Amino acid sequence: MNNNMINEVIKHLSPEVLSQITRQLGAMDVNQVAKAAQGAIQILTGAVAQNANDQQRGGGLFGAIQKDHDGGILGDLLGVLNGQRQVNNPSTMNGEGILRHLLGDNQVKAAQVIQQNSGLDFFKSGVLMQLLAPIVMGVVGQKQKSSGLDLGGLAQILLGGASQQQAGQARQGGGGNILEKLLDRDGDGNMMDDLLGMGMKILRNK
């Protein structure tokens, strides 16, 4: 995975943006949220890279990037998050839909890993991923648009220039990251998926 891309996302989390996200989560410690955000961004960026490098899922991801994620929200991210700026395309900020596409049944595992690494509440970790997913997609879309990348070029950028074979060898060599640790965990079943979904809805509707 490309650490430059991860850092590109993180740099958009200014102190003001992090404070806004902390308020939206109902959290008390902005430093804890910042730590959780770093883990969530690593997971989400890795998931985008895996999708882009998958022949079956890559086309759908690339179409969504071209249609819904041009990076426009990054120009006034704070305004978008606090509701002072409205986006024309609702799909751009549909964090729930983005997570469903990127992580599928791994959303519960992702929230658990973020919770364990940062101490942020399990449900708040889920909502944090929903808030960050459009930002990650915005950065990826901005890169795709500015560089005129096709799907193969985007996959290489996201993987840090590694080919699919090289990425597989790196995983086998034990150089794992937070996403790989996440995917190695045992499944938790549909009950936890439903519980996480309900908890996130309650938090978002407060």
Helix axes 122-147, 107-118, angle to 10 degrees: 110
Task: Read off the pTM.
Answer: 0.81
Sign, Cα dihedral of 56, 58, 61, 65: negative
CB-count burial class (<10 Å; 0-12, 13-18, 19+) for 200 = buried
How far apart are the C-alpha atoms of 200 and 202, rounded to whole Å? 5
How far apart are the C-alpha atoms of 174 and 149, rounded to whole Å? 30
How far apart are the C-alpha atoms of 28 and 22, rounded to whole Å? 7
Predicted confidence at residue 163, as pLDDT, reads 41
**Residues whose CB falls within 8 Å of the CB of residue 205, separated by 6 or more in sequence, listed in order:** none
- For residue 131 the two structure tokens come to 């808030």
The helix (H) or strand (E) run that includes residue 56 is helix 55-68
Given a contact cutoff of 8 angstroms between Cβ atoms, the answer to whether 179 and 1 are in contact is yes
How far apart are the C-alpha atoms of 202 and 127, rounded to whole Å? 10
Predicted confidence at residue 200, as pLDDT, reads 52
Domain boundaries, the chain: 3-204
Task: Render each residue's pLDDT in the chain as its tens digit; 206 residues.
Answer: 567 889 999 999 999 999 999 999 999 999 999 999 999 999 999 999 989 988 888 899 999 999 999 999 999 999 999 999 999 999 999 999 999 999 988 898 899 999 999 999 999 999 999 999 999 999 999 999 988 988 888 888 888 754 443 344 334 333 345 655 555 444 444 445 554 555 555 455 55
Predicted confidence at residue 41, as pLDDT, reads 94
**Residues whose CB falls within 8 Å of the CB of residue 129, separated by 6 or more in sequence, listed in order:** 40, 43, 44, 95, 99, 103, 107, 110, 111, 114
